[in-house]
Chains A and B, each alone.
Chain A
Amino acid sequence: MATIQETITRLFPDATIEQNPIAQVSVPAQQWHKLAYELRHNPELDFDFLVTIVGMDWADKMGCIYYLTSTKTNAHLSVKVTTADRENPSIDSVSHLWAIATIFEREVYDFFGIIFVGNPDMRRLFLSIDWKGYPLRKDYDENPEVNPVTTENERQTDFTTLYTRDAYGKLVAEEKRVFEPDDFVVNIGPQHPATHGVLRFRTAVDGETIKKIDVYMGYIHRGIEKICEKLTYPQTLHFMDRLDYFSAHPYHHCLCMTIEQAAGIEISRRAQVIRVLMDELSRIASHCLFIGTYCMDLGATTMLFYTLRVREQILDIMEKTCGARMTFNYECIGGVMQDLAPDFVDDVKALLDVIPGNIKEYNKIFTGNVIAKNRMEGVGRLSREDAIDWSITGPSGRASGWACDVRKTDPYSIYQELEFDEVVRTEGDAMARFKVRLDEITQSARIISQLIDNIPEGEYCVKVPKVLKLPVGSWFRTVEGCRGTFGIYLESDGNTKPYRLKIVPPCLPAAAVVDHITRGSKIADLITIGGSMDYIVPDMDR
């Protein structure tokens, strides 16, 4: 780590570095462009994975925090870029260095109104195009009369804006077309069976060949980050199962860990084990659902029922312990809400018994099928470089040969003690993404079988003060959700409510990359590719 800091100090003497505990570099906005280039391309630094961009409003100034990771050294770094101009805040875009920054910057623009100079597509991402104000700014006017609920048709434009700086440093806006004037644009979604939720692809096609896709998000945007700023810490937890509703447990786990780390709460070993068990159970359930719905997308409806059989068994286990089948809301600050159900161990063992047989059956009916092979092999190929460039984490990233499992790279909870393999494939096509998930079911079952017989005794939830105040500071934690790296950025000003709670969803990059990997494919491949990325729309929209 010292070498990275030394390199940065050598190149940028103005930069200040603090340990937070991830090293945070602060530079003035003017130097950011150069620093970003060095971080990306300097062989001593080589930060090729942009985890997220956190937009911030500190009242006196605005800015962004960039979280970066090097996939080679697994070093983490964050960069704080600030600007004092509240009227027209602008920061240099890094979309030419990390492809996914195009989308991340649009999100920051949408919420904070920070203009990214050089981003080729500076549109709003989630909110409608005529929304007034930037909701995550602290001086945002929430009066409903400012943004009334409209009864008109959805407004949309075929134009986007590119901001550049002229010779005097002034911002110049340039109108650009999203599609060519004579493109045949088919609207797939927001109500479409294959978009897995209300996501909209504006697809320019040439015959059945895809020329370009404009991913249009925000139909389930509920402003969860904004809502969380008004809730106490225990209350914010309830929104984590409304994001990716199949990864409710890992997401809860992540926010709990962040708050516990901030508050200095040590949880019991029993709670740790229960949390990991629940994480892995939900991973199996989630992958089962993926396999089922994905096969249904490809026309093999029967597979859905075979996979739902296993999922159903898991949901029954969850129901007995958590009291719910979907939005579990089970993990809480200090441990878990209630103890395991009495027959939890027996139920899980029964589940472990049926899993190998079921996987064998899935392989027999689907994976080996010649039509399935033809549909999936070589379709939607994503190279390792592109996967990192687009921040495609989780099973989709691992299918491209990128070992990005947070449970291995930055082990949290008790994962370090557990024996399991990280499933990595190199083909990078839809079939690889399918097979990675299939194999991860086996690995998750392996983790569960190690824990199920030695769940330690102890309290399931430690005492936590009724009114929880966090010290001033910021924390960033990631976990391995069912669909990829899920992160929480938490900033506290010493109050009972978070000053800023940024959610880093794995599904946003997964949807954003669809345009990149579908170009030149057939419309039918869009379904194959979109399905194999396995995005959950409430997760990306938040």
Chain B
Amino acid sequence: MVLAKIFDFALLTEWIDKTLNSFMPEWLTVVTERVLIGLVLLLTYSVLALFYIYFERKVCAAFQCRLGPNRVGPWGLLQSIADMFKILIKELISLKYTDKFLFALAPYLVILASMLAFAVLPWGKGLQVINFNIGIFFLIAVSSIGVLGILLAGWSSNNKFTLIGALRSGAQMVSYELSIGLSVLTMVVFCGELNIVDIVERQSDLWFIFSAHIPALIAFIIYLIAGTAETNRGPFDLPEAESELTAGYHTEYSGIHFGFFYLAEYLNLFVVSGVATLLFFGGWMPLHFPGCDGFNAIMDYIPSVIWFIGKAVTISFIIIWFKWTFPRLRIDQMLALEWKYLLPINLVNLVIMALIVVYGLHF
């Protein structure tokens, strides 16, 4: 089995568990491990966000014949750290005539949703927080908490522009959640598993995008469109269409509260790309083709974490590419796209996938 060569992070985590258990009571071990996991996740979360801000700015600059950040640190690498620091020390402006509690709660809800989804991603072999038997279901469930935060933010700011932004966002996210759910369901039908670890293991021979061929490709394209809409990114950035609604639902936020929206937006981009990686491109699984043992073995030398992050970043690049190329859709056109085109195609695709599974027409 080629898989044996990939480093299993479970060895590392089990070793940590054993070492801690050797000199600690069990309850303390559990507490320490939880705290450690939390810290590592938070750290990864912020580092990835900083990377994404830098990445997007560089990519967008390249599209626009510019250089992008190049003054702070080598190649401008410290630019996003400086920006983040600036956001941290900025004043939190409190508004009159608003619901202060809900106004403050909204950014936390948004960031909570993206963090929860972030936590269950399969980072590498043996590297996930929990091995959940309904993992993918959980992921979809928590990622839709975010829309609640956006609605709250728009409503509690007591501003017409934020309210319109929030309502647009609500309509958009609720609609596109359907497409995301259905395209995920299509792949779940093919795989027969909800467990994230099992989904990845099933792709050890061939990624789903190849093994389930046409329906998987359709599901992937729909997922990519819906995922772009779900993360409120261009060409679906209507909730914060800056030329129409200034900044949409987060117009009134400042300082770190605004920073939370900002971070969550970038991390949602990573989560969406991560899920696409998981469902279509084998998660952390290296590129394998049945029968090409030499090729497969070479691929195994690349660590699984790099496989996962690399694939996710590549998909994010495509989504960023959309944003800096296309103009923005109008709200009714966007809803028409979802309800008139994506949803029916998705449903038909689901049926095709079921037929393919039943008749075994896949690789």
> A residues near B, CB below 8 A?
184, 186-187, 192-194, 208, 295-302, 304-306, 309, 365-366, 369, 371-372, 374-375, 522-527
Contacts and interface: CB of A to CB of B under 8 A. Distances in A.
A299 B241 contact: yes
Interface stretch (B60-68, B122-130, B272-280, B340-348): B60-68
Contacts of B216: none
Contacts of B244: 194, 523-524, 526-527
Interface string B326-361: 111111110000000000000000000000000000
Nearest to B241: A299
Does more than half of chain B's interface fall in helix, strand or loop, or is it mixed? loop
Contacts of B324: 301-302
B118 interface: no
25 contacts: A186-B161, A186-B164, A193-B246, A194-B243, A208-B164, A296-B243, A298-B243, A299-B234, A299-B237, A299-B326, A300-B328, A301-B60, A304-B64, A305-B64, A309-B65, A371-B326, A371-B327, A372-B327, A374-B333, A522-B331, A522-B332, A523-B244, A524-B244, A524-B330, A524-B331
A298 B243 CA distance: 8
B241 to A, nearest CB: 7
Contacts of A208: 164, 331-332
A369 B327 contact: yes
A225 B259 CA distance: 48
Nearest to A300: B327
Bin chain B's interface residue count: 20 to 34
Nearest to A379: B330
A299 B65 contact: no
B63 A527 contact: no
Contacts of A369: 326-327
B160 interface: yes
Contact of B246 (A192, A304, A306, A309): A192
Nearest to A193: B243
B325 interface: yes
Contacts of B331: 208, 522, 524
A304 B237 CA distance: 18
B338 to A, nearest CB: 14
B251 to A, nearest CB: 11
A194 B331 CA distance: 17
Contacts of A299: 234-235, 237, 241, 243, 326-328
Of B63, B243, B331, the most chain A CB neighbours within 10 A belong to B243
Nearest to B163: A186
B242 interface: yes
B154 to A, nearest CB: 14
A54 B173 CA distance: 54
A193 B242 contact: yes
A186 B245 CA distance: 11
Contacts of A304: 64
Interface string B216-241: 00000000000000000011011001
A430 to B, nearest CB: 12
A525 B331 CA distance: 10
B64 A298 contact: no
Contacts of A184: 160
